[in-house]
Amino acid sequence: MTAKQPSGDPGPTTGLPGDGATPEAGSHVVVVGGGITGLAAAWYLIRTHPHVGVTVLEASPTLGGKLGVSDVAGIAVDEGAESFVASRPEALQLAREVGLETELVVPEVFHASVYSRGRPRPMPRGQFMGIPTDLRALAASELMSAPGLLRVPLDRTLPATELADDVSVGALVAARVGREVVDRMVEPLLGGVYAGRADELSMAATMPALFREMRHERSLLTATRRIAGGGMQAAGARRGIPFRGIVGGVGRVPGAMAAALVGSGVQIRTRTTARVLRRVASGWEIEVGPASAPELLHADAVIVATPAAPAARLIADAAPAAAMELSEIETASVALVTLAFRAEDVTAPLPGSGLLVPPVEGRMVKAITYLDQKWGWLGEAAQREGVRMLRLSLGRHGEPEVLARSDEELVALARLDLALLLGIRGIPVDSRVSRWGGALPQYAVGHRRRVERIMLGLRDVPTLALAGATYEGVGVAACVGTAYEAASRVSRGLALQPVASRSAGRIGT
Ligand SMILES: Cc1cc2nc3c(=O)[nH]c(=O)nc-3n(C[C@H](O)[C@H](O)[C@H](O)COP(=O)(O)OP(=O)(O)OC[C@H]3O[C@@H](n4cnc5c(N)ncnc54)[C@H](O)[C@@H]3O)c2cc1C
């Protein structure tokens, strides 16, 4: 086999980690899954190794997975993810590379309220993932009851909490600063990111820096202030907001990527489900199409960039232990109801970017985003159309029945909560329901160890890699990070074949 020349080296400005490998000419890599992760993996491969053949298989008719836009009241609005973190480079860099640099925008407002004890109250300044650091601000917010508030500073005098290998966020936070902080501050924030429950989610996986800090710091308040200090956002301050959106919605990114990929020679096949993945002497065989008339594709390497359940099915033969671990990762389903109201029907003051609703309040809705206030481009479009645009999120881990409801029921439930929580009682001029079944992986206690075991299960198959929200973070930027690592891994696996000992332990290593 001949080594391929590293022509077209994208150089240091691409943001792609260099891997130094030179896959063989004529190599073909199949990427299963055309969400942001799969597209990013294909992008990395083609940028770093332009002569490799790359095919992306996407089961659904459209690319992008949880990124996509469609119209509500004549305005393009995101169906799923609507922002990227700006504190890590991958997603921002990717948007720039596919020509969306000038469309990157900072939210106009970033400060959310929490519905607590009968009304919306501002999330206190200085909190980090719902853990307070500024007790004056916490008291001023009136988010907590008096006994709950008095319990918080005991953190500083209580003996150290013993930490095992991992612990649930709820258990640690409750032990240090009291249950009410979990119920009224941490739950709504974790609900927003993971649609998960504080008592189930892993501290080590969801707040790794804070968890590490707590290994040698007795006080959670001190540890939180130390790790979050610089990054904490003062209420109302726009500068330093750690998120970015895209004019027209981040759901535009997959389209821009697809154009760039096709222009670089990548083959993209939508409506093409990878059903079976087999290891054969010459590499990999992927069965696509109907079982009655399957089409067989050949690949030298495969990147599986799907959610955990299809990934587990696909790798069951090649890496059974990893597949077993993957199959045990649970997910949460979410429905997003986007409502457009006539502007005159929304008279209630809506401060900030939205309202979070903790489970303890007993409502269906867990978050409301004031889209036209949060995004300047959307605000302008809404003003032109004479509407206000709100997005309501329903569904948490353990509530699969949410998606069993009809669109009409979901809109009715959203409107009911909107009336009860914010007093908005008008009839929407347009609505859209976006269903995300099994969308958010749950990083349960022990998740990081599980991911280590999954990656260990791939150690003898260096031309197979896994990437996506299941492993190192559910955010778009983290997904792109795993995509680059997976692409880097198979690049090395191809160049070094049949040597298997270089891969071990972590994604892309
Ligand atoms: C409602 C919602 C809002 C979110 N908001 C944000 C946000 O604002 N910011 C943020 O950073 N993150 C957000 N996230 C998280 C983030 O969007 C996702 O974690 C990320 O987009 C996942 O990307 P992915 O490509 O790994 O997976 P997916 O988007 O799930 O893509 C996987 C793709 O694989 C395809 N597929 C599955 N099986 C097969 C198969 N056998 N053959 C071929 N194709 C297959 C699927 O059809 C899908 O298109 C949000 C998530 C949700 C659900």
- Tell me the mean pLDDT in the region 265-292: 95
pLDDT at 507 over 90: no
> Which residues in 237-273 are b (16+ Cβ under 10 Å) and which e?
eeeebbbbbbbbbbbbbbbbbbebbeeeebebbeebe
Distance separating alpha carbons of residues 28 and 300, to the nearest angstrom: 5
Percent of the chain's residues with pLDDT above 90: 84
**Closest-CA residue to 346 (of 378, 382, 318):** 382
Residue 5, strand partner residues: none
pLDDT at 489 over 90: yes
Residue 301, strand partner residues: 29
Pocket test for ligand 1, best of 66, 70, 206, 436 (most atoms within 8 A of CB): 66
> Which residues in 363-402 are b (16+ Cβ under 10 Å) and which e?
bbbbbbbbbbbbbbbbbebbeebebbbbbbbbbbbebeeb
Q: Please name the residue whose Cα sits nearest to atom 36 of ligand 1.
A: 33
- List Cα–Cα distances, 53 to 25, 201, 302, in angstroms: 9, 40, 12
- 66 Cα to the center of ligand 1, angstroms: 4
Where are the domains positioned within the chain? 23-64+250-328+444-496, 124-231, 331-441
Check if 257 has its Cβ closer than 6 Å to any atom of ligand 1.
no
pLDDT of 11-54, one tens digit each? 323 333 333 344 446 899 999 999 999 999 999 999 999 889 99
Global model pTM greater than 0.85: yes
For residue 134, name the pLDDT band (cuts at 50, 70, 90): very high
For residue 293, name the pLDDT band (cuts at 50, 70, 90): confident
Check if 62 has its Cβ closer than 6 Å to any atom of ligand 1.
no
- 254 Cα to the center of ligand 1, angstroms: 11
pLDDT of 208-254, one tens digit each? 999 999 999 999 999 999 987 654 444 445 567 889 999 999 999 99
- 35 Cα to the center of ligand 1, angstroms: 5
- 436 Cα to the center of ligand 1, angstroms: 9
Neighbours of 337 (CB within 10 A): 25
Residue 274, strand partner residues: 288
Q: Give the pLDDT of residue 239.
A: 60
- 213 Cα to the center of ligand 1, angstroms: 31
For residue 500, name the pLDDT band (cuts at 50, 70, 90): very low
- 469 Cα to the center of ligand 1, angstroms: 7
Residue 24, strand partner residues: 3
Q: Give the pLDDT of residue 290.
A: 83
CATH class held by domain 124-231:
mainly alpha
Question: What is the bridge-based pairing of β-strands 53-57 and 267-269?
Answer: parallel
Q: Give the pLDDT of residue 31.
A: 98
- How is residue 285 written in tokens? 């065989």
Percent of the chain's residues with pLDDT above 70: 90
Q: Which atom of ligand 1 is nearest to the CA of 475?
A: 11
Rounded to an integer, what is the distance from CA 66 to the centroid of its chain? Answer: 9
- 25 Cα to the center of ligand 1, angstroms: 31
Check if 308 has its Cβ closer than 6 Å to any atom of ligand 1.
no
What residues contact 98, with CB distance under 8 A and at least 6 apart?
Answer: 43, 253, 256, 257, 259, 260
Check if 391 has its Cβ closer than 6 Å to any atom of ligand 1.
no
Q: Give the pLDDT of residue 8.
A: 30
CATH class held by domain 331-441:
alpha beta
- Tell me which DSSP letter residue 363 carries: -
Check if 185 has its Cβ closer than 6 Å to any atom of ligand 1.
no
Q: Give the pLDDT of residue 241.
A: 84
Check if 254 has its Cβ closer than 6 Å to any atom of ligand 1.
no
pLDDT at 493 over 90: yes
Q: Are 299 and 283 in contact (CB under 8 A)?
A: yes
Check if 339 has its Cβ closer than 6 Å to any atom of ligand 1.
no
- 332 Cα to the center of ligand 1, angstroms: 13
Q: Give the pLDDT of residue 14.
A: 32
Q: What would the CATH number be for the domain defined by 23-64+250-328+444-496?
A: 3.50.50.60
Residue 30, strand partner residues: 55, 302
- Judged by average pLDDT, the poorest of 166-175, 228-237, 331-340 is 228-237
pLDDT of 47-80, one tens digit each? 999 889 999 999 999 999 999 999 999 999 999 9
Distance separating alpha carbons of residues 115 and 192, to the nearest angstrom: 14
User: In the Cβ-directed half-sphere of 437, how many Cα atoms lie within 13 Å?
Assistant: 5
List the end-to-end C-alpha distance of the chain, in Å, as a whole number: 24
Q: Is 235 left (phi over 0), alpha (psi -120 to 50) or beta?
A: beta
What residues contact 305, with CB distance under 8 A and at least 6 apart?
Answer: 31, 32, 33, 35, 37, 38, 41, 466, 467, 468, 483, 486
For residue 285, name the pLDDT band (cuts at 50, 70, 90): very high
pLDDT of 402-438, one tens digit each? 999 999 999 999 999 999 999 999 999 999 999 999 9
- Tell me the mean pLDDT in the region 192-221: 95
- Judged by average pLDDT, the poorest of 23-32, 126-135, 295-304, 448-457 is 23-32
Distance separating alpha carbons of residues 258 and 171, to the nearest angstrom: 44
